[in-house]
Structure 1
Amino acid sequence: MLETIRLRFEPISPKHLEDAADMFCTNNRVMASTLKESVFTRSEFDSLLHTDFINEQEPVFGFRCVILKESNRFIGVSGIHKIKYQDKEYCEFGFILNDSHWGQGFATEIGHHWILYAAETLQLDQIIATVSPHNLASRRVLEKLDMKYMDQVTSADRGDRIILGRTLS
Structure 2
Amino acid sequence: MKKILETCRLYLREMEQSDFDALSRILQDEKTMYAYNGAFNDTETQAWLDNQIARYQKYGFGLWAVVLKESDEMIGQCGLTMQPWKDGEVLEIGYLLQRAYWHQGYATEAAKACKEYAFTKLHADEVCSIIRDTNIASQKVALRNGMTIMDSWTKHYRGEDMPHYRYVVKNIRI
SS in 2 for 1:50: helix
How much identity, in percent, do the aligned residues show? 27
Partner deviation per Cα, 1:96-148 (whole Å, 9 max, x = no partner): 01110011111110121011111100000000001111111211121122201
Q: Does 1:10 align with 2:9?
A: no
Please name the residue that 1:118 is paired with. Answer: 118
* Preserved contact between residue 129 and residue 164 of structure 1 (Cα < 8 Å): yes
**Partners of 2:58 and 2:6 in 1: CA distance:** 15
Look up the match of 2:85.
Answer: 85
Q: Deviations over 1:36-81 (max 9, x none)?
A: 3311111111112212346969953212111101000110111100
Change (3 A) 1:18 1:90: same
Structure 1 counterpart SS, 2:32 = helix
Which residue does the alignment assign to 2:22? Answer: 19
Any conservation in 1 of the 2:81–2:92 contact (CA below 8 Å)? yes
Matches within 5 A, 1:1-169: 1=3, 2-25=5-28, 27-33=29-35, 36-53=36-53, 60-157=60-157, 159-169=162-172
SS at match of 1:79: strand
Structure 1 residues 59 and 8 mapped into 2: Cα distance closer, same or farther (>3 Å)? Answer: farther
Does the C-alpha gap of structure 1 residues 55 and 91 become closer, same or farther in structure 2, counting only changes over 3 Å?
A: closer
The answer (yes or no) to whether the contact 2:26–2:96 under 8 Å persists in 1 is no
Do the aligned partners of 2:56 and 2:62 also contact (CA within 8 Å) in 1?
A: no
Report the alpha carbon displacement of residue 13 of structure 1 after superposing the two structures with TM: 2.7
Counterpart residue identity of residue 7, structure 1: L
Query: Which structure 2 segments of 5+ residues have no match?
Result: none
TM-score of the superposition, structure 2-length normalised?
0.87
Q: CA–CA distance in 1 between the matches of 2:56 and 2:152?
A: 33
Amino acid at match of 1:84: P
Instruction: For residues 11-54 of structure 1, give each alpha carbon's deviation from its aligned partner in whole angstroms, at most 9, with x where no partner exists.
Output: 223442211123212x1111112xx3311111111112212346
Q: Is the 8 A contact 2:55 2:61 kept in 1?
A: no
Q: For this pair of structures, how many residues does the alignment match?
A: 166
- CA distance in 2: counterparts of 1:58 and 1:6, whole angstroms: 29
Whole-angstrom CA distance in 2 between matches of 1:161 and 1:46: 25
Provide TM-score, normalisation by structure 1. Answer: 0.89
| Residues 103 and 65 of structure 1, relative CA distance in 2, 3 Å threshold | same
